[in-house]
Structure 1
Amino acid sequence: MVKKAHKTKLTIRIVLGMIAGILVGVLLRQLYADSPFANDYLINGLFNIVGQIFVTSLKMLVVPLVFVSLVCGSGSLKDTSRLGRLGVKTLLLYLATTALAVALAIFVAQLFSPGAGMHLTAAVSFDAKQAPSLAEVLVDLFPSNPIQAMAEGKMLQIIVFALLVGVAIAIAGEAGERVAGLFNDLNVVIMKLVTILMNIAPYGVFCLLAKLFATQGFEAISSLASYFLVVLGVLLLHGLVCYPVLLKLLSGLNPMLFLRKMRDVVLFGFSTSSSNATIPVTMETVTKKMGVSNSVSSFTIPLGATINMDGTAIMQGVATVFIANVYGIDLSLGQFMTVIATATLASIGTAGVPGVGLITLAMVLQQVGLPVDGIALIMGVDRLLDMTRTAVNITGDCMVTCVVAKSEGEMDLAVYGDPSAAV
């Protein structure tokens, strides 16, 4: 009872931190927009420093947590053929949910036609960066220098190296068992660090949102209200309806219990706007609250944070229709199918590339002949939508993890069915 009360208290504190941060940010923007003290010492001073320290602290744990957890997980799989089966299931599910997300986005955007008759003019141009080729993606999966890959946070390379180390430990006999014991102890210590960070989360969330709404405000939404509301609506539909339905159909698990246990990690993702930064909390949620074994979660969660971009795919689907409407261009059914295919496959091809959402959107627009400069029209509200996109992406990571774990017999159903199961 004490543990449950503590966890509930933490959730409430995070929500209160979010609400307080939004209110303080809006008040500072409305009442003290021209105040040097508010701008220099609060918004760009205290709030910025505390918020960045919080996010940086979460990111600090990502690489060691992913590497150690994945080594532990793959090292515990004595049957290496299971690792291949696990990878195929996970990858197919991530691609399928991304394709569903962009198809749903296009369908809803066609119903509401955001941008129709607006005839906006982009204030700035957008310089589209070149996405890597398929050959470059495949070669880049394997690190020439694992230490450099860790230093640069290249998640796919870290995943591949950790899998190889784990497999080597599994087949190394007694020496492998001794090394596996060390990694298991390291994993326990890192998870304790995650718990420490969760206790300071309300303060970090407060500062992040206070700075965001003090600098961004709601004014940017008014001129792009139709686009903003359609994207937000599809994100909520996908996260609160599609994922629970898929979870029930593919695993038979209780979807309402799943959504209830996602509260903390969704709040983290919403406030940080980073799937990678939220990996420590996501892994804790699926293992401690949902009963997924570490051998599954250590693979599916880091991979999902890297390539599963359902929220980004939704933005791309709606943005394509919006930009087409603004420029008065009609898209055919074949072009819409091209958008779905491009957005889905690009989620792997551009994994780990900075500004990945805008890069893949540029690819999509180029494929269907729309002006890439149209991206400049939506950049003003993209930061606000990015928070919800991240929350949706994380929910998708956890849903796929539960489905894969259930199918592999790597889930403790008693833990999943216990509403009070937590750290």
Structure 2
Amino acid sequence: MRNLVDAYLRVGLVPLIIIALVLGALIGGVMPSVGLSLGILGSIFVGALKAVAPILVFILVMSAITSRQAGKQVYIKPVLLLYLVGTFMAALTAVVASFVFPTEIIGLTAQTAVEQSAPETLTQVLKNLLMNLVANPVNALTNANYMGILTWAILIGFALRQASDSTKHMISDLSVAITHVVKWIISVAPFGILGLVASTVAETGFDTLKSYSQLLAVLVGCMAFIALVANPLIVFAMTKKNPYPLVIQCLRESGVTAFFTRSSAANIPVNMNLARKLGLNEDTYSVSIPLGATINMAGAAITINVMTLAAAHTLGIDVSFGSALLLAIIGSVSACGASGVAGGSLLLIPLACSLFNIPNDVAMQVVAIGFIIGVVQDSAETALNSSTDVLFTAAADPKYRA
């Protein structure tokens, strides 16, 4: 058994994930019943990632602050700036693409029920985000509220700066232990992705997506532009080096997993592992990556703006340049609060639609269509968001600067 495990590990995660992608697609397409059965592997994998992520963030952040030495440099501010710049560029790209390739949503007048409730104002979005900061710490861990987790981990970490060396050593040992647990979970990623792909192909077959092909093309095209053009330009401006080796590595080792888990929270352990592999500053990435899963939402900004403008075009609403620019700003700010709202980016669409006086019942139909195409839209959005967390953290690290 030991020899078999060693042989499995020697192959490497990336080749095994590629094999899992191909096998999963074949099984889901040829044998749908088997593909649905394999879905349990994906559920277990995603469940394990989601379960370990909150405690991982809490312990790593607390350990980093507790053991941080005076004068040791942390690079959170430049990472935050990159997050904000990247999200606004994504929102602006979505607005421009929606004008260049105007899209009308088929079936917008159909009556479709959406159970979740959407925030009505930007103030409500920001209030939800701020209230998450002061949430009960136990509830924050239970509900994977990363703003609350970060807040309490930072506060407790600073309080433990005065603790005895034995206490600090114990916290450091906990950090090492939870890191090993994450490595074990990530090592079985190919089996999880095999199950996720097989069940997805078996359930959807992607037939229902054909009628929304143009809308999906604009959404995914914008995300691809940000991932392969805009983000590399931002990284080059920071590092003065060829950004593509780092960009491709982040997309390959973080984006692929995020695409199939469709959860930025579940991908936090994957990103932590990648940041460690890249040799980044632990004091920085232990905070910037979980924070990025909360506020670095370029993909969400694209979704909000493209879907809103598609609704406006469908209804024949004339959108001026000024209102489109305002939409980009609102979309950026709203996207940063997306994780603090049940339903994520899709449920922020009615807020953006209100800018053009689009009725709420029509806006909620757009949300429903978003759920229909979510098998592609949400996957691509999560892949962009999550891989960019590591990318910008690395770009702000002196290791990658000229």
Instruction: Tell me, in whole angstroms, the C-alpha distance in 2 between the residues paired with 1:347 and 1:179.
Output: 39
- Which range moved further: 129-138 or 259-268? 129-138
Does residue 258 of the first structure (1) align with residue 249 of the second (2)? no
Match of 1:403 among 395, 399, 402: 395
Q: Which amino acid aligns with 1:25?
A: G
Residues 1:195 and 1:323: Cα distance change in structure 2 (over 3 Å): same
In the TM superposition, what is the alpha-carbon distance from 1:48 to its structure 2 partner? Answer: 2.8
Alignment match of 2:384 (pick from 385, 392, 415): 392
- Shift of the 193–180 alpha-carbon distance from structure 1 to 2, 3 Å rule, reads same
SS of residue paired to 1:223? helix
Q: Note closer, same or farther for the CA distance 1:280–1:333 as it changes in structure 2 (3 Å cut).
A: same
SS in 2 for 1:351: helix
Equivalent residue number for residue 9 of structure 1: 12
RMSD between aligned residues? 2.6
Give how far 1:245 is off: 1.5
Is residue 115 of structure 2 the alignment partner of residue 115 of structure 1? no
What SS is found at the alignment partner of 1:196? helix
Give 1:349 deviation, angstroms: 3.2
Secondary structure of the corresponding residue to residue 224 of structure 1: helix
Partner of 1:27: 30
Give how far 1:252 is off. Answer: 2.7
User: Which AA in structure 2 matches 1:111?
Assistant: V
Q: From the superposition, tell whether residues 252 and 183 of structure 1 become closer, same or farther in structure 2 (CA, over 3 Å).
A: farther
Cα deviation for residue 123 of structure 1 reads 4.2
CA contact (8 A) 1:50 1:204 kept: yes
Moved segments of 4+, more than 6 Å: 80-83
Relative to structure 1, is the Cα distance of residues 53 and 6 closer, same or farther in structure 2, using a 3 angstrom cutoff?
closer
Q: Equivalent of 2:55, from 57, 60, 64?
A: 64
SS at structure 1 position matched to 2:397: helix
Where 2:316 maps in the other structure, the secondary structure is coil
State yes or no: 1:235 paired with 2:235. Answer: no
Q: 1:327 to 1:266 in 2, by over 3 A?
A: same
Which residue among 174, 193, 201 is the counterpart of 2:181?
A: 193
Q: Residue 135 of structure 1: CA displacement? A: 4.2
Residue of structure 1 in register with 2:3 after alignment? none
Deviation at 1:177, TM superposition (A): 3.3
Q: 1:374 aligns with which of 360, 366, 369?
A: 366
The one-letter amino acid paired with 2:55 is: P
Cα contact 2:258–2:379 (8 A) shared by 1 = yes
Q: Among residues 259, 267, 274, which one is paired with 1:285 in the alignment? A: 274
How far did 1:403 drift?
2.6
Q: Which runs of 5+ in 2 are unaligned?
A: 1-5
8 Å Cα contact 1:155-1:352 kept in structure 2: no
Could you tell me whether the CA contact under 8 Å between 1:269 and 1:394 is conserved in 2? yes
Q: How is 1:15-414 mapped onto 2 (pairs within 5 angstroms)?
A: 15-28=18-31, 38=33, 42-44=34-36, 46-79=37-70, 86-115=75-104, 120-126=108-114, 128-130=117-119, 132-143=124-135, 145-170=136-161, 172=162, 175-262=163-250, 263-288=252-277, 290-370=278-358, 371-372=362-363, 373-406=365-398, 411=399
CA distance in structure 2 between the partners assigned to 1:20 and 1:121 by the alignment: 39
The whole-number CA distance in structure 2 between the counterparts of 1:12 and 1:82 is 36
Task: Name which of structure 1's ranges 121-130 and 73-82 shifts more when overlaid on structure 2.
Answer: 73-82
Displacement of 1:12: 0.9
Q: Report the Cα distance in structure 1 between the residues aligned to 2:352 and 2:66, rounded to whole angstroms.
A: 39
- Offset of residue 50 of structure 1: 1.7
Give, in whole Å, the separation in 2 of the partners of 1:7 and 1:337: 51
Aligned partner of 2:86: which letter? T
- Whether the 8 Å CA contact 1:80–1:167 is kept in 2: the answer is no
Shift of 1:133: 5.0
Q: Distance in 1 between the 2:155 and 2:242 partners?
A: 35
Contact 1:205 1:271 in 2 (8 A): yes
**Partner amino acid, structure 2, of 1:297:** Y
- Which whole-Å CA distance do the structure 1 matches of 2:150 and 2:333 have between them? 19
Q: 1:230 to 1:402 in 2, by over 3 A?
A: same
1:75 Cα offset (Å): 2.3
What amino acid sits opposite 2:140 in the alignment?
Answer: A
- Encode CA deviations 1:209-244: one digit per residue, 9 max, x unaligned: 111111112212210111111111111111112111
Name the stretch that deviates more: 68-77 or 133-142.
133-142
Number of aligned residue pairs: 388
Question: Distance between the aligned counterparts of 2:164 and 2:333, measured in 1?
Answer: 37
2: CA distance, partners of 1:218 / 1:154: 32
Question: Using the alignment, how far apart are the partners of 2:129 and 2:368 within structure 1?
Answer: 27
In structure 2, what residue type is equivalent to 1:54? F
State the AA in 2 paired with 1:301.
Answer: I
Shift of 1:401: 0.8
Distance across 2 between alignment mates of 1:161 and 1:96: 27
Separation in structure 2 between the aligned mates of residue 189 and residue 254 of structure 1, nearest angstrom:
36
**Over residues 334-371 of structure 1, what are the superposed CA-to-partner deviations in whole Å (9 max), with x where a residue is unaligned?**
22122112111113334332211112222111222224
